[in-house]
Each structure stands twice: as structure tokens, then as C-alpha cells.
Chain A
Amino acid sequence: MNRPRPALELKGRMLPVTRLRVLRDEAEAIRAQLQALAQQMPQAVAGMPVVIDADAATDLRALLAAVREVGMQPLAVGEGPLAQMARILRVAVVSADTGKPAAERPPAAGAGRAVKPDLPPASRVGTRIVTQPVRSGQQIYAEGGDLVVLAAVSAGAEVIADGCIHVYGRLAGRALAGARGDETARVFCRKLDAELIAIAGIYAVSEQINDGPRGVSAQAYLQDGRLMIELHQV
């Protein structure tokens, strides 16, 4: 019995994407900001996969051109003012905000107790604990859970977790919590000197973090979609 060899294979995979949200319909300002970003973080911007959201309608063609010009790769447009034009241009349209299909959204708070699904309880993924320093050029990813680093995370190193990130040494590299979109994830560190902090794709680079706490114990979390970085005192 000889079955033909399959020509295709389908795999469910998570891809970290950046959501790029247009706040004002001002083509020149958008272009200038993109270029500035590309200069600031050339490596991050080159090839960066983005999904475009917009608060107001804007010229999608020009926007896509500007995004591509700096080397980003627009994958899709979020449901909203740009969706219709996207369909005309045959650009993929995904649900707004979290990127999850709307049906899978958790019930809104106050909607009563969620009905227990007919599934076995979610198995808990263990926390990943790293005892050695994470050095420049190294990357550590805690898939499906939290990451605890007992030493320092050097400049040029990157720590990523689907859950929270705790760094007990100095955090001088990049920390990306909630890598698959968990907006409740947080980053904690004993000494904040980070190059970049991101939660569920919302990030701040060192220059922006600079205005806040520096060299002290700090935490980062999302509040109404905004990244908050604060001194953490008990």
C-alpha cells in the first residue's frame, strides 16, 4: 500500500509579532517616526514582523510603503478603520488588539463565573530557573511559563518568557515577558539598567526607560495597554 508522500505539512506555531498602532493620520509624522526608530534600533527593526492597527483611517498604501521602507515586514492589518482597504489590497486582516480570534477572548470581567470547559485542567509548565549569568549574545526562552534568573543579564543578552521574568542580578540586557501575548505578565528586577523591556509586545527601549527608575529594584507591567516601569518597593 503506497500512499503518495505528502507535499504539505501544517504546524501550529506562535510567532512573536509587533503591533504597530497608528495614532494620528499624519503621513509625514508617521514616516519620520519610523525612520527614527529604525536608526535607534536597526537590528530590531530590520525584518521585524508587524501587524498594523489604526485608531483612525489613513492611507494604507502609503503606510505600508513607509513600513517596508525601514525594513519591517507588514504581515496583516488589524480589524478596524483600515480593514476594508486591506481586503481590497489583499493584505491579511486579523482581529484587532490581541490577535486572537474574537471567539477565544476570555469572558469580560463581571460576566459571572466562567463555565468550566470540558477539558482536563491545564498542565502547569514549570518555571525555568537559570543560576548562571546570561551573557551578551545569549538568549534564554522560558516557553509557556516564568523565567527566574538568579544572576545578572548582561547588555547584549536577551531573556524571554511566556510568563513573568524575575532577574535577581542586574538587568542590563533585554527582557521580554508575555511573549505570546499574556498582558498580565510582568518583569521584576533587582537592578534596572535594561536595554529593552517588553510585555506582550509593548516595549520601551533604554532611552525611554531612562526617564524612570534606574539602577534600582523595579517592575514593569501593562496598564490599559501602556507599559509602566516603576520603582518596586516593599
Chain B
Amino acid sequence: MAKIIVVTSGKGGVGKTTTSASFATGLAARGHKTAVIDFDVGLRNLDLIMGVERRVVFDFVNVINGEATLKQALIKDKQLDTLYILAASQTRDKDALTQEGVERVLNELAQSFEYIICDSPAGIEKGAFMAMYFADEALVVTNPEVSSVRDSDRVLGILSSKSRKSEGGDGKVREHLVLTRYNPARVAKGEMLSVDDVKEILAIPLLGVIPESQSVLTSSNAGVPVIREENSDAGLAYQDLVARFVGEERTHRFLAAPRKGLLGKLFGSQ
């Protein structure tokens, strides 16, 4: 049975789209047939990060409105034949996402995909609500700062009370914490919350910690999800995250600041 996974946070700019792109790519690279949907109507950028922006003909809203079939709108990844992208509309307004429409598209996707990743817009309004409502699992993306953690906490409350799973009484949405833009040096200086602080406040299982990394920007500018960058710490952290998601054991890396100075260089830093 297909699994619907929402990537959500409440706050904007924390790394949802970056995470959606790498997570979907990582699952697909392991052979799982995966579709990733951009729910950010009006502000689409998943297609940019996935490097398919010049191949978008039809989008999610077209499919909901019956102006295109799902088959026409799904964009196949150039490298992975298990990965498909459904872009958001740049021109429509948010009301275009109706609950019935979203459900219909998800049901159709569920017939042929293993994983359906929903990249949520920021906020807790309609678009974000639609992205999370049908989810079986949620990646809650948080930055190590108080306002981001607070917003994630709020989203967790909504997931536990207003999702299809919770309303139907058939269990709860499985929650995973993804801590992104983690900067151990700033944590050490007390400028940011630590992994343990965030874990204590949100009290959900930690799936991955993604370090703050220059390579995220360069790879998204190049239209390549950072998980494909074998030499990037953020890319490796996303690979670990996907491995953990499918049940492999991986210890968390990149939690400590790299050692500086000659000794650090001689002995390598990690």
C-alpha cells in the first residue's frame, strides 16, 4: 500500500522543499517508486530544486480541475525512472486545492506509487492543511531556534487532531523530527538550541539532523537535490536520513563542530 508522507513545519524557509526533494530522490534511488508533489500553490519551487522547471506543462491544479490527466502532469526525473514530480501552479490562488480534488489525485497516485511525498507550504492555512490532511507519516522540519520549534509544535498538534487518520480514529500520523540547518558551532556558543533541547521540547523520534551547508545552496541553484552530492555533509546526512526511514541503523553525524587548527586538519574533521 502506498504511503503518503507530508514534509511540514509551520514556519517558512526552514528547509521543507530541500528536504522533500532529497527525501524523494533518496527513496527513489533505493528503487522505491516515488512521487513528490509541490503543494505551495503560487510559489512553486520544488521543480527548480529538482531541476525540472523547464519541463512543466501541466501542474497539480490542472489535474484537480480536470484540465489534464495525472499522466500528462507527472514529470519523470531524468536520472531515476522511479521518481516523478508533480509541480505546483504558479498562477492559481490557494483555493484551487479542494479537499475532494486532492484526495482524488492522491488516490490515483496510490495505485501505482509506493511513496507519495507532499511538500507543504508554510503556515497553517489551507495549503498546509491540504498537504497534511491525508498523510500517514510526517517529516516535521525544524531549525534549531525557538520560533521554528514552536511552530513545529503547533503543526504536531494539528496533525494529531485534524488529519484524516486522527479523525477516522484509525491510529495516528507517524511523526519524525528532521532538524535542518544545524550549526554545531553556534549551538556550542549557545546561539542556537541543541539537538537535545529540540528533542525534549517536541518529544518525537529524531529521523535526521542536516547540517547548515553551503552545498545546499549551490546544488539547488544547479537543480540537483543535495542528496546527490556525495561530497557534501548535508548530502550524506540526507542519505542517512533516508536509510533510517527505511529501517537501517545509522548513527547521527555532524552533531559536533568541526575541529579547527592544525591538529584538526591533520586528524581530519568530522
Interface residues of A (CB under 8 A from B): 132-138, 151-152, 154-157, 169-170, 172
Contacts and interface: CB of A to CB of B under 8 A. Distances in A.
Contacts of B150: 136, 154-156
29 contacts: A132-B160, A133-B156, A133-B160, A135-B153, A135-B154, A135-B156, A135-B157, A136-B150, A136-B151, A136-B153, A136-B154, A136-B157, A137-B154, A138-B161, A151-B203, A152-B203, A154-B150, A154-B153, A154-B157, A154-B201, A155-B150, A155-B153, A155-B201, A156-B150, A156-B153, A157-B153, A157-B157, A169-B203, A170-B200
A156 B156 contact: no
Interface string B148-164: 00110110111011000
Judged by DSSP, the binding face of B is helix
Contacts of B203: 133, 151-152, 169
Interface in B154-195: 154, 156-158, 160-161
The winner among A132, A135, A151 for most chain B CB atoms within 10 A is: A135
A132 B204 CA distance: 11
Contacts of A157: 153, 157
A172 B203 CA distance: 13
Interface of B: 150-151, 153-154, 156-158, 160-161, 200-201, 203
A135 B160 contact: yes
A31 B148 CA distance: 36
Contacts of A172: 201
Nearest to B166: A132
Closest 10 CB pairs of A and B: A135-B157, A136-B153, A136-B154, A137-B154, A138-B157, A154-B153, A135-B153, A135-B156, A136-B150, A137-B157
A159 to B, nearest CB: 13
B160 to A, nearest CB: 6
Contacts of B160: 132-133, 135
Contacts of B161: 138
B247 to A, nearest CB: 25
A132 B203 CA distance: 11
Contacts of A137: 154, 157-158
B146 to A, nearest CB: 8
Contacts of A155: 150, 153, 201
Given A135-B157, A156-B150, 13 more contacts: A132-B160, A133-B160, A134-B157, A135-B153, A136-B154, A137-B154, A137-B158, A151-B203, A154-B153, A154-B157, A155-B150, A157-B157, A169-B203
Nearest to B160: A132
Nearest to B146: A155
B201 A156 contact: no
Contacts of B158: 137
Contacts of A151: 203
The winner among A137, A155, A172 for most chain B CB atoms within 10 A is: A137
B157 to A, nearest CB: 3
A43 B154 CA distance: 18
Nearest to B151: A136
B103 to A, nearest CB: 25
A136 B146 CA distance: 12
A133 B152 CA distance: 13
A133 B154 CA distance: 11
The winner among B151, B200, B201 for most chain A CB atoms within 10 A is: B201
B59 to A, nearest CB: 31
A174 to B, nearest CB: 14
A156 B147 CA distance: 11
A97 to B, nearest CB: 37
B163 to A, nearest CB: 13
A17 to B, nearest CB: 28
A137 B157 CA distance: 8
Contacts of B156: 133, 135
A85 to B, nearest CB: 45
Given A132-B160, A135-B160, A138-B161, A156 B154 contact: yes
A133 B161 CA distance: 11
Contacts of A169: 203
A152 B120 CA distance: 26
Contacts of B154: 135-137, 156
